């Protein structure tokens, strides 16, 4: 499988990675969720080259994850805002942050914490079943071929559990 062909794979993860699957894109999205919207602010915060930042922002706009809106007219200057498609990535970003807090933080702990506005408590993301509401882990899931599967003879889905 070639990196440039990920968007053509019969796998939703591969297709998603074709849009958001590099480190710069994920930290750009992190900053967008933190309310950073302007090119110069992103460049300064991330220490990223203008070329790479422009490339990643262009791709996110092309794929409908971000949209540009003017904040100044003369000269026209635009900021980047999350679309509904972009906001739908919030659970993904939160899950990666949570993993980083658990497995990559130093002895000082998590660099930032998330507070649920409604109850005021510190929160951690939890994956739950959309039908019964019970928390689920990798051991609680069985994978089956879905209607979007193109090659039903493929061996991509093993018959044994993952763990």
What pLDDT does residue 122 have? 94
**Which residues of the chain have a pLDDT value below 50?**
none
pLDDT computed for residue 144 by the predictor? 80
Q: Which fold has domain 6-88?
A: Arc Repressor Mutant, subunit A (1.10.10)
**pLDDT score for 6:** 74
| Rounded distance between C-alpha atoms, residue 61 and residue 86, angstroms | 10
Q: Report strand pairing: 114-115 vs 122-123.
A: antiparallel
Strand (E) positions, 9-160?
66-72, 77-82, 114-115, 122-123
Extents of the domains making up the chain:
6-88
Residue 95 has a CB neighbour count (10 Å cut-off) of 14
């Amino acid at each position: 499988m070639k990196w440039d062909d990920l968007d053509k794979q019969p796998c939703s993860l591969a297709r998603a990675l074709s849009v958001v699957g590099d480190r710069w894109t994920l930290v750009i999205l992190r900053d967008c969720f933190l309310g950073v919207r302007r090119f110069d602010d992103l460049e300064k915060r991330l220490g990223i080259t203008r070329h790479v930042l422009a490339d990643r922002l262009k791709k996110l706009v092309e794929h409908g994850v971000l949209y540009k809106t003017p904040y100044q007219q003369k000269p026209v200057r635009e900021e980047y805002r999350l679309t509904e498609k972009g906001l739908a990535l919030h659970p993904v970003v939160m899950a990666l942050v949570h993993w980083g807090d658990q497995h990559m933080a130093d002895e000082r702990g998590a660099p930032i914490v998330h507070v649920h506005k409604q109850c005021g408590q510190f929160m951690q993301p939890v994956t739950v079943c959309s039908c019964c509401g019970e928390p689920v882990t990798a051991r609680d899931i069985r994978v089956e071929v879905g209607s979007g599967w193109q090659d039903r003879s493929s061996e991509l889905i093993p018959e044994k559990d993952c763990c």
